[in-house]
Amino acid sequence: MSATTFIIHFHAAEAKLSEFQGAMQQLGTELPKVAGCTAVAVYQDRDDSSRFTVVESWNSADEHQRHVESLLADGTWNQLASLLRSEPSSNYFNPL
């Protein structure tokens, strides 16, 4: 296992912005409690308040994938996706 960083960019639907912002605040509080997550930072774009970036640090990409699978299985991801204007973009990064 090697540490990894996962970065995801969201574009919230204007009509759902307040709800999405609340979800992002909750993510910042709750995600570090998930096994394998070592840190999370949530950013809101200064020029476009409907754009958010989340930077997550994980013990491994496998642990992150297990977490994502649990979000898909329990419907959490679908609920979050319903607040978006478009599909999020994301990548894994390794520390140098």
Q: Is the alpha carbon torsion for 54, 36, 90, 11 positive or negative?
A: negative
CATH topology of domain 4-89: Alpha-Beta Plaits (3.30.70)
Average pLDDT, the chain: 96
pLDDT higher than 80, residue 84:
yes
Query: What number is the average pLDDT over the span 67-92?
Result: 96
For the chain, give every domain's residue range: 4-89
The answer to whether 12 touches 20, Cβ cutoff 8 Å, is yes
pTM of the model: 0.94
pLDDT at 2: 85
* 10: nearest Cα among 50, 68, 61, 41: 50
H helix intervals, the chain: 17-30, 61-73, 76-81
pLDDT at 86: 97
The answer to whether 41 touches 28, Cβ cutoff 8 Å, is yes
